[in-house]
Amino acid sequence: MSTIEDISSRGPRLSKAATEPALVRWALTALAVAFLAVFLIVPLAAVFIEAFDKGVSVYIAAITDPMALAAIRLTLLTAVIAVPVNTVFGVLAAWAITKFDFRGKSVLLALIDLPFSVSPVISGLIFILLFGASGFFGPFLAAHDIKIIFAVPGIVIATLFVTFPFVARELIPLMDAQGSDDEQAALALGAGGFQTFIRVTLPNIKWGLLYGVILCNARAMGEFGAVSVVSGHIRGLTNTVPLHVEILYNEYNFAAAFAVASLLTFLALVTLVAKAIVERKARAAMRAAASRRTSGGPHEH
Amino acid sequence: MASRRSIIPGFNITMGLTLSYLAAMVLLPLAALFVKTTTSTWQEFLQTVTSARVVASYRLSFLAAFAAASINAVFGFLVAWVLVRYNFPGKRIIDGLVDLPFALPTAVAGISLTAVYAPSGLFGKPLAALGIKSAFSPLGVVIALTFISLPFVVRTVQPILQNLEIENEEAAASLGAGRMQTFLRVLLPTVLPAVLTGFALSFARALGEYGSVVFISGNMPMKTEITPLLIMTKLEQFDYPGAAAVAVVMLAASFLILLATNLLQWWGKRRGIWV
């Protein structure tokens, strides 16, 4: 901590009048780092310490247990369905919202964000009310022997709901800022609509799109509350990885619970690294686009 | 409905699919919640949502979310400040880690925080020696909610601080203001809308949180039972009208906070701070 200096090497150049004495800088930095250590770093480390508490063999046994493998399969299946569906939706919604003017746009934006402000438990509850035994479609589903609640379809549907806004809300501000000039040029030159999207729009939005997909996937694999409500916790059948962690924990099988939790933690760390890389690429692409635009140079992709 | 901006094709198909999917996936299910509450009478509804145990859960959820959002307003601002203004070793890793609560499944956060703050845990033990019960008490709920809503204030304040004109601070200094005075009179008013927006987002997220809290709170009715858990309990007892009634109250609260957040953002924009 002795090398804290002012930011003159990077970012805005701060004159002496616009910064604090070294001692204040040092104290504020130490306080901020201590806060993050207590709330982020210690809990993060605790997952791995607890996971290996009973040794490596217990760890391996916990993550290769047939019930754990079944949970991993279900979580992957859920993400493989939910992420592409909501990605396609996100692209369609962003296209409709950013390429055209229409009345009620801000209402539509608010509605797309809605799942973010609904408690996970309520996100599960609404599907019980629709598809549960005494729900609105319950009698119809029972008559046709279709099971949604306490079965895999319910888990997928609840995950679709909670991950609904991720891709759309990354793409909308990005595509709004980029405008439609590139697309208009391509169309004027005779390209078809779909061709324009693939050849012009997609290269422009690829980093934002990837960013949204990463966040969507993290939530799809990690969702707990909504999935917990509709799953019914049937081992080997309707248990996702987070639910499996809960069951092991409630059985006081702590080492196994943390071993399986460490897989999800590893996934979270991979997500953070991927997010950082994509952010850097997106910034670089934006700078390159800006310099192209000001210098009037040719577009290159 | 649309006034086409240009020759760009695809409005009908993209808008049609967007609205259909939105209606089927979000609007219809949420409407089901409100329709369900109409199956009970007004009296039954009021009785459910004002019963002692439910009111105790509102109080805990509201106060704990408020405490967590307040902690994050202060420390989130501090973290954003330090990340934007100072250099120190490991800064980029710290910056990346701030988003951990968004990426880490809430159940994992819950069991991990419980291990750390349990009476035998790393922080739980010294706190217990001081006579402070952290896990399995309302304080545990605040800790979990602080964790899951930690990134909001940092991420709303950080871009505002990055775009600040240093000249304003230099002008204040050259006019004889001390650093503290400059902070209070020049910096704070500029950053305040962003801090409040981050506070509102934290509060809204914390209010609905379930996964991390159920492990650390101990779930004692009237004492450490949050409202989402109470909805879960009613569901497990197949009391669907009761669960729907409490959910409608929670949803109304969330929408009010959402509205407040939008007003705050609008206020910030009007003051020309959002870039």
In which region does residue A296 sit, left (phi positive, over 0), alpha (psi from -120 to 50) or beta (all else)?
left
User: Is pLDDT at B232 greater than 70 in this prediction?
Assistant: yes
Does a structural domain hold residue B256?
yes
Q: Are A72 and A96 in a shared domain?
A: yes
User: Is pLDDT at A1 greater than 50 in this prediction?
Assistant: no
B chain contacts of residue A95, beta-carbon cutoff 8 Å:
10, 14
Q: Are A15 and A136 in a shared domain?
A: no
Q: Are A37 and A139 in a shared domain?
A: no
Q: Which of A9, A117, A160 sits opposite B25 (nearest CB)?
A: A160
Q: Are A127 and A223 in a shared domain?
A: yes
Does a structural domain hold residue B105?
yes
Q: Are A89 and A231 in a shared domain?
A: yes
Q: Which of B36, B99, B107 sits opposite A242 (nearest CB)?
A: B107
State the pLDDT confidence band at A234, using cuts at 50, 70 and 90.
Answer: confident
Q: Output the pLDDT for position A232.
A: 85
CB contact under 8 A, B112 and A28: no
Does a structural domain hold residue A114?
yes
Q: What is the pLDDT of residues B173-210, one digit of tens each?
A: 888 888 888 888 888 888 998 999 999 999 999 999 99
Does a structural domain hold residue A300?
no
Does a structural domain hold residue B26?
no
Range of the domain at B67: 38-270
Does a structural domain hold residue B29?
no
Partner B, chain A 197-236, Cβ-Cβ below 8 Å: 197, 215, 218, 221-225, 228-229
Among A51, A67, A83, residue at a domain's last position: A51
State the pLDDT confidence band at A6, using cuts at 50, 70 and 90.
Answer: very low
Q: Are A141 and A33 in a shared domain?
A: no
Range of the domain at A101: 54-295
Does a structural domain hold residue B31?
no
CB contact under 8 A, B112 and A272: no
Q: What is the pLDDT of residues A25-47, one digit of tens each?
A: 999 999 999 999 999 999 999 99
**Based on the structure, what is the number of domains in chain B?**
1
Does a structural domain hold residue A69?
yes
Q: Output the pLDDT for position B6.
A: 59
Q: Output the pLDDT for position B80.
A: 97
Domain containing A114 — which CATH number? 1.10.3720.10
- Which range, of A269-283, B1-15, B117-131, averages the lowest pLDDT? B1-15
Q: How many percent of chain A have pLDDT more than 70?
A: 91
Q: Are A38 and A72 in a shared domain?
A: no
User: Is pLDDT at A18 greater than 90 in this prediction?
Assistant: no
Q: Are A26 and A170 in a shared domain?
A: no
Does a structural domain hold residue A158?
yes
User: Is pLDDT at B145 greater than 90 in this prediction?
Assistant: yes
Best residue in A39, A86, A160, A182 for a mutation probing chain B (most B CBs within 10 Å): A39
Q: Which residue of B has its CA nearest to A134?
A: B240
B chain contacts of residue A10, beta-carbon cutoff 8 Å:
87
Q: Which of A96, A129, A272 sits opposite B15 (nearest CB)?
A: A96
Task: State whether residue A286 sits within 8 Å of chain B by CB.
Answer: no
Average pLDDT estimate for B230-237: 93
Q: What is the pLDDT of residues A146-185, one digit of tens each?
A: 999 999 999 999 999 999 999 999 999 999 988 899 999 9
**Based on the structure, what is the number of domains in chain A?**
2
H helices of chain A, in order, are 22-36, 42-51, 56-64, 66-99, 105-113, 120-131, 138-143, 152-162, 166-178, 181-188, 193-196, 202-222, 225-231, 241-250, 254-295
State the pLDDT confidence band at A297, using cuts at 50, 70 and 90.
Answer: very low
Domain containing B183 — which CATH number? 1.10.3720.10
Q: Are A218 and A136 in a shared domain?
A: yes
Does a structural domain hold residue B72?
yes
Q: Output the pLDDT for position B260.
A: 86
What secondary structure, in 3-state letters, does chain B show? CEECCCCCCCHHHHHHHHHHHHHHHHHHHHHHHHHHHCCCCHHHHHHHHCCHHHHHHHHHHHHHHHHHHHHHHHHHHHHHHHHHHEECCCHHHHHHHCCHHHHCCHHHHHHHHHHHHCCCCCCHHHHHHCCCCCCCCHHHHHHHHHHHCHHHHHHHHHHHHHCCCHHHHHHHHHCCCCHHHHHHHHHHHHHHHHHHHHHHHHHHHHHHCCHHHHHHHCCCCCCCCCHHHHHHHHHHCCCHHHHHHHHHHHHHHHHHHHHHHHHHHHHHHHCCCCC
Does a structural domain hold residue B229?
yes
CB contact under 8 A, A40 and B209: no
Does a structural domain hold residue B115?
yes
Q: Output the pLDDT for position B272.
A: 56
Average pLDDT estimate for B239-254: 93
Does a structural domain hold residue A186?
yes
Q: Which of B104, B143, B250 sits opposite A268 (nearest CB)?
A: B104
